[in-house]
Structure 1
């Protein structure tokens, strides 16, 4: 029996941004498929599991469904979407957030002085986002409506942690832009949007800030909660003018102001446009098909 709730998949939702987004969507009544690899504490260097997140989603007012998925394994990704189609018969929101973040990513040094495995974030990040979207698109096209979101950051346009991180963020921004072209040409109201999140008050970042406060003092007073982006995604999904934003990379903090979505202490997070004079790159209308 299909669920009347809006149906979402949030990838990489054991912890961090994915966990916050999943819980926020749950608070709006969504059925949220929570994916990730962590099934028990200790599976990763940072706490969090798919089961804990799914439970939070349900407590928030939604329905959390934990599914163990390694997003580098196409068979597991295929099984996820088959499960959603079988159990729900639809998919309204896909949030591509899964990313392989190596513990050495923020370590000092040039990219060749760090483990080569740091580059896996291009695989479990860009490619996994493409694969999930490839499987979500047919369902959304049949419905004639849907929203595909990529979680991104200003590192797409400035140096941040090296080339692997930058390639991941720039890559997902570009995928949203080009997927939107195909959806528009298909004549369906399926939107693809990339969202620049600010620095998030996650366990990982808070631990980094505590270990080197002088290095991260510039972040004081600028952090966003992990849930903030989820509330912005819900506002986007409910916006009757959503298709006008399809293909764009938007700054989450600015979307918060647009939709009246506040964060910690009832405040609007600062926009990176003012903080660091960064803005998303322009997508030109010229098209080769």
Structure 2
């Protein structure tokens, strides 16, 4: 199913997984709003909302770059209004924006605690809330949260409880809103990677080049996201999807293109339940 003519509102999509999802949709001829706060080049991070828009246009889509801090209610409302004015509505809301810091309780200052919860949990709630009235008018409306399965094991909390709480807050938005808006036909799902994904976060915060070499490209998440939001919204909601499992269900058997330079097992990601690793056809080790 093509996303041609569909409109995606993506938070934090100026780089990484968010941009990859935008480019995959653009190849279908979709309209994409990039709602992010990077307007000027960052010394350590690639991309701005404007370079992302250029890439989307080159890929075959239409782009609307909007400077937006999703912590600010007024800015989110304005970004949504601009999207509807430009493209006539919203079909897909992708909550991609996220903040991370992997520190224990005593090492986590409250400013960083607040940032993670404001962007991850509150931001997901706010962006979804602002999009829902427009999604109700769409033919096949989807909200997709880049959030993990709710695997309530202590091992995911003990080393970075503040971050885990913030990410699981996004997952609880999926759990609650999928039931709340089922009657409206709005699908609300989560998507999470089986393995580490080669992004700026991995290179700058989670192990550098060594872990990046054991990671897959963001394209696997983009392809999985495309498959999910192309499904009938009334038939696919309330799920905590894993990227590889989504694509295997679509008939993909060869995943080597997503990690062409990797040798040996890949690095498994956070928050993936043990049973998912056990049934996977991919060798993983060195879990974060």
Aligned partner of residue 200 in structure 1, secondary structure: coil
Q: How does 1:214-225 map to 2 (within 5 A)?
A: 216=211, 221=214, 223-225=215-217
2 CA distance for matches of 1:172 and 1:45?
26
Aligned partner of residue 106 in structure 2, secondary structure: helix
**Alignment CA distance shift 1:91-1:130 (3 Å):** same
2 CA distance for matches of 1:206 and 1:31?
30
Query: 1:80 offset after TM fit, Å?
Result: 0.7
Q: How does 1:125-274 map to 2 (within 5 A)?
A: 125-143=120-138, 145-153=140-148, 157=152, 158-159=155-156, 162-184=160-182, 186=183, 188-197=184-193, 198-208=195-205, 211=208, 213=210, 216=211, 221=214, 223-240=215-232, 242-260=233-251, 265=257
2 CA distance for matches of 1:124 and 1:277?
28
Q: Deviation per CA, 1:143-197, whole angstroms, max 9, x where unpaired?
A: 353000000136864426612221122111121121111222x3x3210001112
**Alignment CA distance shift 1:192-1:29 (3 Å):** same
Query: 1:239 offset after TM fit, Å?
Result: 2.2
Would you say the 8 A contact 2:91–2:139 is kept in 1?
no
Would you say the 8 A contact 2:98–2:116 is kept in 1?
yes
**Alignment CA distance shift 1:70-1:208 (3 Å):** closer
Aligned partner of residue 152 in structure 1, secondary structure: coil
Would you say the 8 A contact 1:8–1:92 is kept in 2?
yes
Q: How does 1:36-47 map to 2 (within 5 A)?
A: 36-42=36-42, 45-47=44-46
In the alignment, structure 2 segments of 5+ residues that lack a partner are 261-265, 278-288
**Alignment CA distance shift 1:114-1:181 (3 Å):** closer
In the alignment, structure 1 segments of 5+ residues that lack a partner are 281-289
Would you say the 8 A contact 1:152–1:169 is kept in 2?
yes
**Alignment CA distance shift 1:278-1:128 (3 Å):** farther
TM-score by length of 1: 0.80
- Mapped pair 1:93 → 2:92: yes
